[in-house]
Amino acid sequence: MNGPGHEEGTVPRPDLESAAWWEGLRSHRVLLQHCSDCGRTRFPPMPSCPWCATTEFDLVESTGRGVVYSFVTAHVAVSPGYVGPLPYSVATVELEEGPRLLGRVEPPSPLAIGDRVVSRFVDHATWTELYFEPAVQP
């Protein structure tokens, strides 16, 4: 998705550890590192497991589902030069697989801790951004 309200922003510069993450997002997949030794799933991408220090891992695809752990809604620009839509919400989302990560949530409100969300992808010219949206309740 691209269009009004989805400005290019700061283009990420992938490094050795994060390249697979950004490639996954480009193909609309949330990829996480899963430790081959202790079995824990981690984010952000890093060269070794923070729990057991092994460098062996597999990439696993997340369901993209999680719950809002915390959030903030900005009603005024918090960065000089920001010209995007207001208000906007950014949340720490605890994924079903365990890791927590940040992402914009649309629509920005109403939003509450514990809300269920699902991943959504916003394609820019050269990269893809991870957003979240409210999950449809059964």
- Checking if the pLDDT of 8 tops 80, the result is no
Residue-wise pLDDT tens digits, 117-131: 999 999 999 999 999
Interatomic CA distance for residues 45 and 89, integer angstroms? 24
Q: Which residues pair with 93 in a beta bridge?
A: 68, 101
If one compares 135 and 9, the residue with the highest pLDDT of the two is 135
3-state secondary structure labels for all residues of the chain: CCECCECCCCCCCCCCCCHHHHHHHHCCCCEEEEECCCCCEECCCCCCCCCCCCCCEEEEECCCEEEEEEEEEECCCCCCCCCCCCCEEEEEEEECCCCEEEEEECCCCCCCCCCEEEEEEEECCCCEEEEEEECCCC
Interatomic CA distance for residues 116 and 36, integer angstroms? 29
- Checking if the pLDDT of 6 tops 90, the result is no
Interior CA angle at 22 toward 19 and 24, to 5°? 105
Average confidence (pLDDT) over 52-66: 96
Question: What pLDDT is recorded for position 7?
Answer: 57
Residue-wise pLDDT tens digits, 66-87: 999 999 999 998 888 888 889 9
Top mean-pLDDT range of 57-61, 76-80, 106-110: 57-61
- Domain definitions of the chain by residue range: 19-134
- Give 70's contacts (C-beta < 8 A, 6+ positions apart): 91, 92, 113
Model pTM? Answer: 0.86
Question: What pLDDT is recorded for position 110?
Answer: 86
Average confidence (pLDDT) over 55-65: 96
